[in-house]
């Protein structure tokens, strides 16, 4: 016995085929549009993973190149008076490397977390007379063995090879002078993280 006329079986067969297209296995059957969106997202992710760099990386690098020492110092000075808190890198409290990493991060630059590891980043500045605002300066810790403290240069006096720097010390975030006996005796070295400082120096030399 045939129900619904001669065209009914054909229509039923066509409907079943269309339904089968949307089934991803024998247990799950999902609408076609969400499946295509997921498929497109997966393909996009895989493609980006095989590229040598992404558009986002390029934008981040451009932003990093646009940053100069003045921008770093301007950010750092906003947190004068924030209390010292060991192991912290937030506006509720900073330790020395937590402060420097926080300030640089605000300018789209990632620093490693400890002062010792930050001392391995960027370019080594051998002479104090070559220091520029925004550079990182390093000191031994209270025990006097190896790098244990870090700050950010805010002002430089090439004539007497001294500088002022903002840092998170026991009294909280503030500015000190390298000529102070405590810091003069503990100075270890400096690193330049931002390429913008190199550009500024070249521009000054050509003026």
What stretch of H or E contains 189? Answer: strand 187-192
**What are residue 157's phi and psi, to 5 degrees?**
-120, 90
Q: What is the CA radius of gyration of the chain?
A: 29
Q: Are 168 and 99 in contact (CB under 8 A)?
A: yes
Of 149, 169, 186, 191, the active-site residue reads: 149
Answer yes or no: 117 catalytic. Answer: no
The DSSP bridge partners found for residue 157 are: 162
Q: Which residue has the tokens 């509720």?
A: 92
- In b/e form, how buried is each residue of 131-155, taking b as 16+ CB within 10 angstroms? bbbbbbbbbeeeeeeebbbbbbbbe
What stretch of H or E contains 150? Answer: strand 147-157
Q: Are 128 and 192 in contact (CB under 8 A)?
A: no
Of 67, 96, 152, 193, the active-site residue reads: 96
Answer yes or no: 158 catalytic. Answer: no
The SS3 call for residue 135 is coil
Answer yes or no: 149 catalytic. Answer: yes
Of 72, 137, 150, 167, the active-site residue reads: 167
> Which residues are catalytically annotated?
96, 149, 167
């Amino acid at each position: 016995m045939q129900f619904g006329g001669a065209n009914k079986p054909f229509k039923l067969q066509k409907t079943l085929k269309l339904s089968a297209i949307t089934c991803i296995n024998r247990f799950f059957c999902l609408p076609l549009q969400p499946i295509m969106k997921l498929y497109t997202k997966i393909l996009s992710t895989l493609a980006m993973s095989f590229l040598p760099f992404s558009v986002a990386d390029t934008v981040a690098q451009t932003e990093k190149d646009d940053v100069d020492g003045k921008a770093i110092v301007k950010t750092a000075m906003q947190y004068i008076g924030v209390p010292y808190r060991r192991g912290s890198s937030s506006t509720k409290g900073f330790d020395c490397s937590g402060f420097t990493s926080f300030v640089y991060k605000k300018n789209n630059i990632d620093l490693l977390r400890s002062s010792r590891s930050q001392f391995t980043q960027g370019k080594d500045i051998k002479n104090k007379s070559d220091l520029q605002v925004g550079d990182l300066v390093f000191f031994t810790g209270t025990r006097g063995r190896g790098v244990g403290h870090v700050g950010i240069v805010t002002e430089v006096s090439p004539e007497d090879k001294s500088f002022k720097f903002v840092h998170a010390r026991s009294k909280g975030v503030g500015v000190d002078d390298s000529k102070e006996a405590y810091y003069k005796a503990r100075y270890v070295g400096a690193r330049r993280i931002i390429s913008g400082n190199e550009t500024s120096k070249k521009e000054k030399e050509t003026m």
